[in-house]
Structure 1
Amino acid sequence: MAVRIIRMSELSQKTGCARSTIYAFISRGEFPRSIPLGSRAVGWKESDIDEWIEKRQSLRDSR
Protein backbone atom coordinates (compact mmCIF):
# COMPACT_ATOMS: atom_id res chain seq x y z
CA MET A 1 0.00 0.00 0.00
CA ALA A 2 1.37 3.39 -0.96
CA VAL A 3 1.91 6.04 1.69
CA ARG A 4 -0.07 9.19 1.00
CA ILE A 5 1.23 12.50 2.31
CA ILE A 6 -1.18 15.37 2.83
CA ARG A 7 -0.36 19.05 3.23
CA MET A 8 -1.92 21.61 5.58
CA SER A 9 -4.81 22.68 3.35
CA GLU A 10 -6.07 19.11 2.98
CA LEU A 11 -5.27 18.39 6.62
CA SER A 12 -7.49 21.26 7.76
CA GLN A 13 -10.27 20.05 5.51
CA LYS A 14 -9.95 16.41 6.64
CA THR A 15 -9.88 17.19 10.38
CA GLY A 16 -12.25 20.14 10.33
CA CYS A 17 -9.70 22.07 12.42
CA ALA A 18 -8.20 25.45 11.61
CA ARG A 19 -4.46 25.73 11.03
CA SER A 20 -3.97 27.42 14.41
CA THR A 21 -5.85 24.63 16.20
CA ILE A 22 -3.72 21.99 14.51
CA TYR A 23 -0.54 23.78 15.58
CA ALA A 24 -1.92 24.06 19.15
CA PHE A 25 -2.46 20.28 19.18
CA ILE A 26 1.09 19.82 17.85
CA SER A 27 2.61 22.07 20.53
CA ARG A 28 0.83 20.03 23.24
CA GLY A 29 2.03 16.76 21.72
CA GLU A 30 -1.54 15.69 20.88
CA PHE A 31 -1.18 15.38 17.11
CA PRO A 32 0.84 13.18 14.75
CA ARG A 33 4.26 14.50 13.87
CA SER A 34 4.83 16.06 10.49
CA ILE A 35 7.27 14.78 7.89
CA PRO A 36 9.78 17.25 6.40
CA LEU A 37 9.33 17.40 2.63
CA GLY A 38 11.78 20.18 1.85
CA SER A 39 13.48 23.13 3.42
CA ARG A 40 10.15 24.85 4.21
CA ALA A 41 7.53 22.21 3.47
CA VAL A 42 5.99 19.56 5.71
CA GLY A 43 3.28 16.99 5.30
CA TRP A 44 1.53 14.32 7.33
CA LYS A 45 0.93 10.65 6.61
CA GLU A 46 -2.75 10.31 5.85
CA SER A 47 -2.87 7.01 7.75
CA ASP A 48 -1.56 8.75 10.91
CA ILE A 49 -4.26 11.40 10.58
CA ASP A 50 -6.96 8.74 10.05
CA GLU A 51 -5.80 6.99 13.26
CA TRP A 52 -5.86 10.29 15.16
CA ILE A 53 -9.43 10.95 14.00
CA GLU A 54 -10.49 7.44 15.04
CA LYS A 55 -8.97 7.95 18.52
CA ARG A 56 -10.85 11.24 18.89
CA GLN A 57 -14.09 9.46 17.96
CA SER A 58 -13.36 6.71 20.48
CA LEU A 59 -12.86 9.33 23.21
CA ARG A 60 -16.18 10.91 22.28
CA ASP A 61 -17.99 7.58 22.28
CA SER A 62 -16.57 6.48 25.65
CA ARG A 63 -18.06 9.46 27.49
Structure 2
Amino acid sequence: MHYAKFTRALLVWTREAEGQALAEYGLILAVVAIAAVGGLVLIGSAVSASFTDFVDAAGIGG
Protein backbone atom coordinates (compact mmCIF):
# COMPACT_ATOMS: atom_id res chain seq x y z
CA MET A 1 0.00 0.00 0.00
CA HIS A 2 2.79 2.41 0.79
CA TYR A 3 4.40 1.72 -2.57
CA ALA A 4 1.23 2.76 -4.42
CA LYS A 5 1.03 6.01 -2.47
CA PHE A 6 4.70 6.68 -3.12
CA THR A 7 4.43 6.07 -6.87
CA ARG A 8 1.30 8.21 -7.10
CA ALA A 9 3.01 11.05 -5.23
CA LEU A 10 6.08 10.67 -7.42
CA LEU A 11 3.97 10.90 -10.59
CA VAL A 12 2.22 14.03 -9.33
CA TRP A 13 5.54 15.63 -8.41
CA THR A 14 7.02 14.74 -11.82
CA ARG A 15 4.11 16.31 -13.66
CA GLU A 16 4.41 19.48 -11.58
CA ALA A 17 8.17 19.64 -12.23
CA GLU A 18 7.63 19.18 -15.97
CA GLY A 19 5.05 21.97 -15.97
CA GLN A 20 7.42 24.26 -14.10
CA ALA A 21 10.26 23.52 -16.53
CA LEU A 22 7.96 24.18 -19.48
CA ALA A 23 6.95 27.52 -18.00
CA GLU A 24 10.59 28.45 -17.43
CA TYR A 25 11.51 27.55 -21.01
CA GLY A 26 8.59 29.65 -22.21
CA LEU A 27 9.82 32.66 -20.24
CA ILE A 28 13.36 32.23 -21.57
CA LEU A 29 12.03 31.99 -25.12
CA ALA A 30 9.98 35.16 -24.62
CA VAL A 31 13.00 37.09 -23.32
CA VAL A 32 15.17 35.91 -26.22
CA ALA A 33 12.46 36.85 -28.74
CA ILE A 34 12.07 40.33 -27.23
CA ALA A 35 15.84 40.84 -27.28
CA ALA A 36 16.07 39.68 -30.90
CA VAL A 37 13.28 41.99 -32.05
CA GLY A 38 14.77 44.88 -30.08
CA GLY A 39 18.19 44.28 -31.59
CA LEU A 40 16.78 44.14 -35.10
CA VAL A 41 14.87 47.36 -34.55
CA LEU A 42 18.04 49.08 -33.34
CA ILE A 43 20.29 47.93 -36.17
CA GLY A 44 17.65 47.59 -38.88
CA SER A 45 18.17 51.01 -40.45
CA ALA A 46 21.97 50.59 -40.44
CA VAL A 47 21.71 47.23 -42.19
CA SER A 48 19.26 48.65 -44.72
CA ALA A 49 21.59 51.56 -45.45
CA SER A 50 24.53 49.17 -45.90
CA PHE A 51 22.61 47.06 -48.41
CA THR A 52 21.51 50.17 -50.27
CA ASP A 53 25.12 51.40 -50.47
CA PHE A 54 26.24 47.98 -51.72
CA VAL A 55 23.56 47.85 -54.41
CA ASP A 56 24.38 51.39 -55.53
CA ALA A 57 28.12 50.67 -55.64
CA ALA A 58 27.64 47.41 -57.52
CA GLY A 59 25.29 49.03 -60.00
CA ILE A 60 22.77 46.22 -59.74
CA GLY A 61 19.85 48.36 -58.62
CA GLY A 62 16.84 48.83 -60.84
Larger strand proportion of the pair: 1
Rg comparison, structure with higher value: 2
Assess same fold via TM > 0.5.
no
Q: Shorter-chain TM-score category?
A: 0.3 to 0.5
